[in-house]
Structure 1
Amino acid sequence: MIETWSVTIVAAPLVVAAICAVSRHARIAEYANLAASVVCVVAAISLACIVRNPHRFMHGYVMVDALAAWTLLCTALVYCLASIYAVGYMRLLAEERPRLPNFYALFALFAATMVCGPIMNNIGVYWIAIELTTLVSTFLVGFERGQAAIEAAWKYIIVVSAGISLALLGTVLFYWAGSLVIGPTYDMTWDVLRRAAPSMNPALTQMAFLLVLVGYGTKAGLAPMHTWLPDAHSEGPAPVSAMLSGALLNTAMLGVARFLTIEDAAGTSLLPRTVLVAFGAFSLFVAALFIVRQQGIKRLMAYSSVEHMGVLALGFGFGGPLAIAAVLYHMLNHSLGKSLMFFGAGNVMRVFGTTQMDEIRGVWDRFPVSGALWLAGAVAMTGAPPFGLFLSELTLMRAGMASANVWAVIVMLLLLIVIFIGFLNHFRAMYWESGPLGQAKAAERAIDVNVWMTLPMWLALVPVLVLGLWWPQDLWRFFETVAADLGGAVR
């Protein structure tokens, strides 16, 4: 069954891409993509329920373990929510209607590349999967073909490809370090490298990890390699922004976590973990600075993504069972919450006809239901109770107090307070400050938020709220399995 569900979650979006290429009908494309996204969610939930021990097939090139299953679940949920939202959102882009089959073909291919990455058991093939996500998503970032969108797409592919090139160099150095122990030819699987790690040259493996960290950290949006992220998130269509933030960043961060296990096996993880924690703390610092002074609505969400990737980096850097549980919980809550935030941003942008927050006023009066959902999502994304991100961040700080980098917990707490104040201050202005210009612009535009654009916001917010009130025991047991695979067990 594991093999069947694994093939299904990759094949479903690939079939959609083929259908879009043949049909060229917008309605067929959007509903086929929606159906594929539901299939992916069913497959991801099934894998998360049945996978405990790592399962390898296709001559060892594919490995489905608990960490991969969890990442697939987060990706599939975002893909499904974004597919629902895209039905309503993309129909509003009248000028792009003839190109909708192209959009859904690329959208499905993007999902297919993202679900391939977590299950790749070969470090070289994993790099190829991550690079494919870049190639496909570049066309989605520039889909609307405006000058700013094209510029953002070019910036995205240049910056990320430069980072991925460093990850490739780090991958080559890992292979070289392994060849000095195993021989010139061997399978570059995660397990093989972990077993050989104690005998590898420590200086070589540490250099390799730092290159990998910078490379995949660029893809994950860690500061200071994050420069592509605000432009790509702000210029791509809202469903694409949700996929970039809620799904793609997790896939890149998973690679950092897996390479870190090689350093743990070698007994040389002190420096790599400290550097990873430093990147996480610096990402929070940069996010706090830009969130406070931000004016673009989707750029605000983008810097929030930098913040939360910094939180994940801190968790993996702290290490230990409790930190791993917190990171995985945070990953799910961030995927759901950030999808909600980009959906809300897309609604506001279409209704008010602007991306500038100082021109958006009276959101509550214009659409009270989706406006209330968006505001609740904003509170959730700042890590405030009673939402799931509060639990994950609190648990992460508890884990950090027992680590070698206690200083980072203090930095994290202070910066989260700054982000909380700065982030919600923008929403206070958009909801409660008066602004005749913004309200007049909304009144002039005969655009209403339909059920396709509101339903996924409900589907994202309710789980984030439930997970803030109740941390299921079954999830603790699942996290125990992941922690064991990464070198520990939940206490």
Structure 2
Amino acid sequence: MTAALIVAIVAAPTLAAIVSALIRMRHVGEYVNLIAALVCLVATLSLAATHDRPHEFLNGYVLVDAIGVWTLVCTALVYFLASVYAIGYMRLLVEERERLPQFYALFAAFAATMVCGPLMNNIGVYWIAIELTTLVSTFLVGFEKGQEAIEAAWKYIIVVSAGISLALLGTVLFYWAGSLVIGPTYDMTWGTLRHAAPRMNPALTQMAFLLVLVGYGTKAGLAPMHTWLPDAHSEGPAPVSAMLSGALLNTAMLGVARFLTVTDAASPSMLPRTVLVGFGAFSLFVAALFIVRQRGIKRLMAYSSVEHMGVLAMGFGFGGPLAIAAVLYHMLNHSLNKSLMFFGAGNVMRLFGTKEIDEIRGVWARFPVTGALWLAGAVAITGAPPFGLFLSEFTMMRAGLATPNAWAVIVLLVLLIVIFIGFLNHFRQMYFATSIPAAKADSDDDSGKDGQLRYTAAATLATQSAQPNLWMTLPMWLALLPVLILGLWWPQELWRFFEAVASDLGRSAP
């Protein structure tokens, strides 16, 4: 049963990519990709419901464990929601209509590479899977072929590949440390390394972990290695941005978490965890600075992703069953919530014809449904009650206070308050301000009056445009409702699943 589900999870998007590439018809690509996403989601949820203990397949190359299954659930949810949204959104790109079969082939291939990563049991093959996600998603980031999109794609592949090269060096050092204990030839599985770790050189494993942290941290968007993320999220189509933020970042963070368990088993030193917490705190600090001063819609969402990856890093650094439960809960809520935010940004951006926050006014009045959903998502993404991210962040703070890195809880609390104020201030302007800033009007036209007239004309055109269709609003509802429910009710079944994750990760507490 488990093997059949794994085959369905991987084969569905792979076949969709092949069919879309061979049958170059837009509607075929749309619906084949949507069916593949639905099959992938159902199979992943079935796998999570029936998972009881770790299983290995294909001579140990494939591993099905609790944390891997949880990452698959987050990925499959985002893939399905983004596939629904893409049908409505991509049809608006009239200039790219002839290339839509290519888009859906790449989109499904991107999903296929992401679901492979959490299943890889060999640390070298896991690195290959992560690198494949980069190669495929680069073409999606630059899909619209504008100058800024192409620049963002180049920046993405160069920065991330440089980081992944460091992760490869760290992987080699982990293998070397293991070879000094096991012998020159052995299976490079997570379990083999963890079993041999107590006899491995602590200094060598710590050095290897730091390289892996910087390498995979680059892919996960941790500061200061995050520089690719705002451009890539801003220039890619909205469904791609949702996949990058809600699914890809989790897949990279998974590698950091698994290598941390090996390092923990090799040495009782708190250095690796403290460094991980430090990267998380610095990511929150950078995100707060840029969120407060941000002027682009999707760049605002991108820096929010930097923030939440920092929260995940701090949670893994805190360690302990409670912190791990909070991390996994946060991972799910962020995946759903950030998908909602990019969908809303895509809707508003297309209707107003701009990415600039200063040029968007009266969102709620002109687009009631999209406006209400997007505003609720904005409140939720800042960690405000009664949504799921509040519950996960509060639980993480409780866990952090019981660790040697309790100082980070104060940093987390202060920066979350700053981000809450800065993020929602932008939405206050877009929803309730009635005119564009004078400085913006002057920069658009030497006359502030002319600039205001141009804004009024653009707003009128937006009002006359077609409202977002069902394809563009349904996934927003499907993302928001679970985030609200998970903020009011933490299912007991999830607690048991999180305990299984803590068990699979080995020594979870410092």
Deviation string, structure 1 residues 355-410 (Cα, Å, up to 9, x no partner):
00000001011110111000000000000000000000000000000011011000
Q: Secondary structure at the match of 1:337?
A: helix
Report the CA distance between 1:269 and its aligned residue. 4.6
1: CA distance, partners of 2:5 / 2:99: 31
1: CA distance, partners of 2:261 / 2:397: 22
In the alignment, which residue of structure 2 is the partner of 1:313? 313
Unpaired stretches in structure 2, ≥5 consecutive residues: 436-451
Letter in 1 for 2:106: L
In the alignment, which residue of structure 1 is the partner of 2:152? 152
Do the aligned partners of 2:319 and 2:508 also contact (CA within 8 Å) in 1? no
Report the CA distance between 1:447 and its aligned residue. 3.6
2: CA distance, partners of 1:398 / 1:488: 19
2: CA distance, partners of 1:88 / 1:42: 22
Report the CA distance between 1:264 and its aligned residue. 1.4
In the alignment, which residue of structure 1 is the partner of 2:460? 443
1:379 aligns to 2:398 (yes or no):
no
Residues 82, 268 of structure 1: CA spacing in aligned structure 2 closer, same or farther, 3 A cutoff?
same
Map 1:160-171 onto structure 2 (within 5 A). 160-171=160-171
TM-score (structure 2 length as normaliser): 0.95
In the alignment, which residue of structure 2 is the partner of 1:457? 476
Map 1:42-441 onto structure 2 (within 5 A). 42-435=42-435, 437-441=454-458
Q: Secondary structure at the match of 2:218?
A: helix
Report the CA distance between 1:50 and its aligned residue. 1.0
Q: Secondary structure at the match of 2:154?
A: helix
Q: Secondary structure at the match of 1:164?
A: helix
2: CA distance, partners of 1:269 / 1:32: 50
1: CA distance, partners of 2:329 / 2:477: 20
Report the CA distance between 1:266 and its aligned residue. 1.2
Deviation string, structure 1 residues 123-179 (Cα, Å, up to 9, x no partner):
000000000000000000000000000000000000000000000000000000000
2: CA distance, partners of 1:375 / 1:453: 16
Do the aligned partners of 1:353 and 1:442 also contact (CA within 8 Å) in 2? no
Report the CA distance between 1:489 and its aligned residue. 7.9
In the alignment, which residue of structure 2 is the partner of 1:472? 491
Do the aligned partners of 2:261 and 2:508 also contact (CA within 8 Å) in 1? no
Report the CA distance between 1:270 and its aligned residue. 1.0
Letter in 1 for 2:236: G
Deviation string, structure 1 residues 402-443 (Cα, Å, up to 9, x no partner):
011011000000000000000000000000000255453132
Do the aligned partners of 2:181 and 2:196 also contact (CA within 8 Å) in 1? yes
1: CA distance, partners of 2:310 / 2:79: 23
Do the aligned partners of 2:264 and 2:507 also contact (CA within 8 Å) in 1? no
1: CA distance, partners of 2:425 / 2:356: 15
Deviation string, structure 1 residues 172-199 (Cα, Å, up to 9, x no partner):
0000000010000000000000111111
Report the CA distance between 1:233 and its aligned residue. 0.1
Deviating runs (4+, > 4 A) in structure 1?
436-439
1: CA distance, partners of 2:346 / 2:311: 25
Q: Secondary structure at the match of 2:63?
A: strand
In the alignment, which residue of structure 1 is the partner of 2:438? none
Unpaired stretches in structure 1, ≥5 consecutive residues: none
Report the CA distance between 1:7 and its aligned residue. 1.1
- CA-atom RMSD in angstroms: 1.0
2: CA distance, partners of 1:120 / 1:21: 26
Deviation string, structure 1 residues 88-120 (Cα, Å, up to 9, x no partner):
000000010000000000000000000000010
1: CA distance, partners of 2:6 / 2:93: 34
2: CA distance, partners of 1:438 / 1:17: 41
Deviation string, structure 1 residues 204-259 (Cα, Å, up to 9, x no partner):
11000000000000000000000000000000000000000000000000000000
Letter in 2 for 1:265: A
Deviation string, structure 1 residues 42-98 (Cα, Å, up to 9, x no partner):
011011111121100011000001111100000000000000000000000001000
Letter in 1 for 2:461: E
Do the aligned partners of 1:480 and 1:489 also contact (CA within 8 Å) in 2? no
Q: Secondary structure at the match of 2:56?
A: strand
Do the aligned partners of 2:78 and 2:247 also contact (CA within 8 Å) in 1? yes
Report the CA distance between 1:268 and its aligned residue. 3.8
Do the aligned partners of 1:206 and 1:268 also contact (CA within 8 Å) in 2? no
In the alignment, which residue of structure 2 is the partner of 1:486? 505
Q: Secondary structure at the match of 1:56?
A: strand
2: CA distance, partners of 1:416 / 1:141: 29
2: CA distance, partners of 1:489 / 1:193: 16
Do the aligned partners of 2:41 and 2:73 also contact (CA within 8 Å) in 1? yes
Letter in 2 for 1:442: A
2: CA distance, partners of 1:330 / 1:394: 10
Letter in 2 for 1:306: V
Residues 223, 357 of structure 1: CA spacing in aligned structure 2 closer, same or farther, 3 A cutoff?
same
Letter in 1 for 2:24: R
Do the aligned partners of 1:223 and 1:286 also contact (CA within 8 Å) in 2? yes
1:19 aligns to 2:38 (yes or no):
no
Give the aligned length. Answer: 490
1: CA distance, partners of 2:168 / 2:469: 45
2: CA distance, partners of 1:357 / 1:366: 16
